[in-house]
Structures are given as C-alpha cells and as structure tokens.
Structure 1
C-alpha cells in the first residue's frame, strides 16, 4: 500500500483507528469462547470449575483429549461424520453444478418457475420436512443407514447451491464457450475444460457449505440414525452429556477435536474462498 493511499480514499486517521479498534474487539469477542473451551480442556480433573482466567491453566494436561478417545467412541463418530458429510458434499456439488449451468446458459420452458420454486424451498427448514422425509425413508428401508441421511442432506442443500453457482456462472462471458464451439468443442467439453476451471472459487465455497451443513447437523441425524454404533459426531457429542453430571473437561476436548477437520478444509480451500465469497455479486 502506498503512503498516500489513505489520503486518496479521504480516510482520516481517526476513522481508520476506529475501524481497527472495532475489528480487534470483534476478534476478541469471537476468540474468547474458543479460548475458554481450550482452557477447560487443558485443566486437570480436580480443577475443572476453577475461576482462573488463565488461558493455559496451572498443571495443564492433554489427559482430557486422550480420555475423549478412550472413554467414548469419538474416533468412530469422526469417521461416520466424515463419510456422511463428505459424500453429501460430493453428490450435492455434482448435481448443483450441472443444474446451475443449465439454468445459467440455456433457455427452456419452466426455467424461471424452476428457479423460483428452488428459492421457495429455502423458506422451509429441514426440520419442518422431517416427518414426511422420515416416513419416506422408512418405506424405502433407509433408516439407520448413512445413505438415507446423505439423501436428506443432499436434497436440502441443492437449492441454495444451485442459486449460488448460477450467480457465478452468470458472471462468466458466454463468448468463451462460443469460441470453443467454433473450434468444434461440444457443450460438455466446453463446460469441463473452460467453464468449470473458471468456477473453482464457487465450487470450493459450495463444497465447504455442503460439508459444514452435514458436519454440524444434529436433529435430522438424531431422528434417522438410532443405532448406537452408527452415530454421527453431533449426536455422539450430545450423548456425552450425562443426565445428572457431565465431564466438561473431556467434553470440551472432544468439541475442539471436532473442529480440526473443518479447519483443515478451510485451509485447503482458502485460496478459492475469497473469490467464492463474492459469488454473483457482479454480473459481467
């Protein structure tokens, strides 16, 4: 940044200082709960209810993290959630990409109505449709099976994903595909070799949203999966809470462990997320 950039934007020093102060306060408010959970997870069993404000408590230990895997089926819950969330994100992205491209590039009867209907479905949360979905899964024999849970997650995430991807496809000039058609490329070739590489930011953001929706979802998973050997992570974490008492040190450690896969996914997709967050904001 050049020295006179601030003056070119007519931003006073006081205004810039105020912005930074607000941002710092916001970061502190956001990080404090996480740091508090970390502090509880690191405390030894005899000082869980300590009133100390230290982030790293006296006698800090990783015993709670070990016990989370020893006393509970945390590793199995992680694997189950990775399977469900990963498959749901994969199928949702595949279906959403092709549908969004069709809505963006082709004129056909019912196109506008179809987009409107997709938007209307977002007015109803998944929990509202849980009863008919559950009855349907019972008749199909898909309860207590991951495929049934994946179907629900995919079907509920597709409408939003289509709208988001369509907004991004609309920003890509059609002349790129037309040039490919002139060179003899088919529609599928132009899509996979030209459009899809340009749409990586939106695809990455869609995959992240779809994964996180399945990773943190509790109510639907609680209803569809009843087998104690097939529980997903959110359901398993709730089961760690006892009726009369809860080992908060182990519970906090497990909560931190569950955040690791999402953090890894954020880091892996970080170079695409900045572009993906502006999906549909500018139409070119």
Structure 2
C-alpha cells in the first residue's frame, strides 16, 4: 500500500516537473537567444543606446493610470451590483460582462477613427479608454465575487451605527475585500503593461511609444540580429515576472475570493 502511494506521489511530482518545464522552455530559449552575437553586450546596448527608459516610463504611466481607473470603477460597480438593490441590476451586470467577449481586434478600427476625429492619437488618452473597456469586465467579476462573500450583517450593522453607503464601502467593505482588489490591481497592471496591438496602432510617435512596441522597432532596425531582439523581449518580461513572483499569493487569494458565500 505504501509502495503504491509512493508511486502515486512520484507520478504527481513528475507531472508537475513536466508542466514547469513546458512553461519555462520558451523563457529558456529566449534567454539563450538573447546572448547570440554579442553576449551580455546585447543587454548593455539595449539599456544604454536606445533610450529604453523613455518607453518604460510611458508604459508605467499608462499602466498606473489604467489601474486607478479600472479599480475605482470596478469597486464602485462591484459593490453596487453585489449589495445594492436597483432596477435591471442583473441585466446591467450581464451587459457589462458581455465585454469579455469583445476581442481587441474587433474595436481597433472604430477606436482609431474615434481617436483620430478627437485628435488624441499619439497621446496617452488614445489607449487609456480602450484598455479600461477591455480589462475592466474581468476585474468586475473578480471584485463583485469578493463583495458577494462579505456577510450582509456586517454591512447592515455599519449602516445602523450611522455609516453612510460611501463610508461603509470604503471603511468596511473595501478592507474586507482586499484580496480581490489586490488581484484586480495586479491583473490590470500586467494586462496593460503587456498589451501590444492598441499601443502599436495608436502610439506611432517614438517619444510616446510603450515598451511592448520596442521589439518591432528593433526588428526593423536590426533585421536578422536575433540577439538584440531577444534581449529586448526579455527586458520587457522582467517587470511582469517580478510582480507575479512577489504577488502570486494575492493572485491565488483573489481568485479564491467569493468561493464561499454567506
């Protein structure tokens, strides 16, 4: 019996190792390719010769702005849809979630035309709106599930003690729903940081480009210089990897929030 159990544990470990290997293989290929040609000089050139800090700053400004907009909107909407009663609540919720079915490519041309007529192409505003529309629905689902898990009795007690709706939301509900909100912050930041299509189409001036557009620029500059191209790709991945490794506990807790309800 112990032998069978030991074999089962060994099989699980082997499956886990195989899954990790499949996930890490592309990153390993990327790192290996980044040293082709110039070795570590590829990274030095990317970091020192091409003003990559400008692209990092652009991506950071856009990502932080999107995080603030998405989280504020989803916290307000999630609380209202979870704890307040008003007409057509379920219909509004389903309508908002329907944006999950909307691919970025489907709205690319209309958004470009709207931005062109508004005169905001090659500005941060050109991508802020589309990012919020595309990212907010998933986080609304996450945050609402977190609010659904909060006992109504706690919120009712706060209201009886004299707290208004707004104070109850920010003093009681938001702190108790922290895992879901932190999950929304992480997911929004990573999604906006890694987005390529909208940024490539809407931000054509070099001084406003985001970090994800840089490999395309380098590819046209270097042609077959795989080393510099791969080095640029890996540099783009580093912030996302660091954030995920540091915040993976919050990601798991946020995804689990709402699994048990009152």
TM-score (norm 1): 0.85
Which of residues 29, 35, 38 in structure 1 aligns to 2:28?
Answer: 35
| Cα pair distance change 1:246/1:229, threshold 3 Å | farther
Q: Residues 68 and 251 of structure 1 are in contact (CA less than 8 Å); yes or no, is this contact kept in structure 2?
A: no
Which position in structure 1 is the counterpart of 2:196? 218
Q: Is the 8 A contact 2:42 2:231 kept in 1?
A: yes
Of 191, 197, 209, 2:169 maps to 191
1:165 paired residue number: 143
Q: Secondary structure at the match of 2:15?
A: helix
Q: Is the 8 A contact 2:78 2:143 kept in 1?
A: yes
* Aligned-pair CA distance for 1:93: 0.7
Kindly name which structure, 1 or 2, has the bigger radius of gyration based on alpha carbons: 1
Q: 1:240·1:246 contact (CA, 8 Å) conserved in 2?
A: no
Match of 2:108? 130
Question: Aligned to 1:24, which of 6, 9, 17?
Answer: 17
Using CA pairs below 8 Å that are at least 6 residues apart, which structure has the higher relative contact order? 2
Gaps of 5+ in 1: 1-5, 46-60
Q: Over aligned residue pairs, what C-alpha RMSD do you find?
A: 2.1
SS of equivalent residue, structure 1 residue 176? helix
Task: State TM-score, norm by structure 2.
Answer: 0.92
1:207 is aligned to 2:185 = yes
Cα pair 2:214 2:232 within 8 Å, conserved: no
Query: Is 1:93 paired with 2:71?
Result: yes
SS in 2 for 1:240: helix
More helix by share: 2
1:279 corresponding residue in structure 2: 257
Q: Would the alpha carbon gap of residues 256 and 244 (structure 1) be closer, same or farther in structure 2, given more than 3 Å must change?
A: closer
Tell me, in whole angstroms, the C-alpha distance in 1 between the residues paired with 2:183 and 2:96. 19
- From the superposition, tell whether residues 183 and 270 of structure 1 become closer, same or farther in structure 2 (CA, over 3 Å): same
Could you tell me how far apart the structure 2 residues matched to 1:14 and 1:227 are? 59
Equivalenced residue count is: 261
Aligned partner of residue 256 in structure 2, secondary structure: coil
**Separation (CA, whole Å) in 2 of partners of 1:77 and 1:217:** 13
The runs of at least 4 consecutive aligned structure 1 residues that moved more than 4 Å come to none
